[in-house]
Amino acid sequence: MKKIICIHGGPRKNGNTRAVTALAMEAARNQKAEVVEIDATALEAKVPGCLACHKCQKSEEFMCSLGDPVAQAVATLPAYDVIVLSTPLYWWSYSAQLKIFVDRMYSLGKFGENGNYRFSLANKKLALIATAGGPIESNLELLEQQWRAPAEMMGCSFASCLFPNVAAAPGKLVDDPAVAEKARQFGKMLAG
């Protein structure tokens, strides 16, 4: 049974990103995956982002020493097989709320002085679900690369499910059967 954690970065609770992600996670649950969802837009952060205090590098624990709800949520990630980011494309990237979360993931690695590193997420799968008003080319693909690159560095596999050129009203994107099917197939694949 796969353990999946989905981190929501879309601020619109009724938005299209959450709607497609809900279908994907429902499909994963139908395949008997255990799915936990956290809302990065609602997590309390003592400070936004990472302070580069490097306290996480001086301890054996994979834990951000800020100890706030963001740190606590990030520290749970190694317990899962699949880590899904769900976000609308904002300025060719993920949302700022998600960036706060992702920067704290520095605490999940140990970076040695001679260029060595090890990660508590090695051998997991990183996945991305994203929507955008514009195309994939020179747009969504830039976001995809921002999650694929850490996956490669951490020794993780990677998968993405991208929804470009979204013109539907908030939450209505899933009324398109092809979109709904794409989201469900992705969720099913993550659970497999």
Ligand X SMILES: Cc1cc2nc3c(=O)[nH]c(=O)nc-3n(C[C@H](O)[C@H](O)[C@H](O)COP(=O)(O)O)c2cc1C
Q: What is the rounded CA–CA span in Å between residue 161 and residue 74?
A: 23
Q: How far is the CB of 97 from ligand X (least distance, A)?
A: 11
Q: Which residue, 15 or 109, has its beta carbon nearer to ligand X?
A: 15
Residue 136 DSSP label: I
33: its two tokens: 């995956």
Q: Site residues (CB under 6 A) for ligand X?
A: 10, 12, 15-18, 88-92, 131-134, 139, 166, 170
26: its two tokens: 């429902």
Q: Which residue, 91 or 178, has its beta carbon nearer to ligand X?
A: 91
Q: How far is the CB of 24 from ligand X (least distance, A)?
A: 14
Q: How far is the CB of 16 from ligand X (least distance, A)?
A: 4
Pairing of strands 117-119, 109-111: antiparallel
Q: Which residue, 136 or 189, has its beta carbon nearer to ligand X?
A: 136
Q: What is the rounded CA–CA span in Å between residue 58 and residue 40?
A: 26
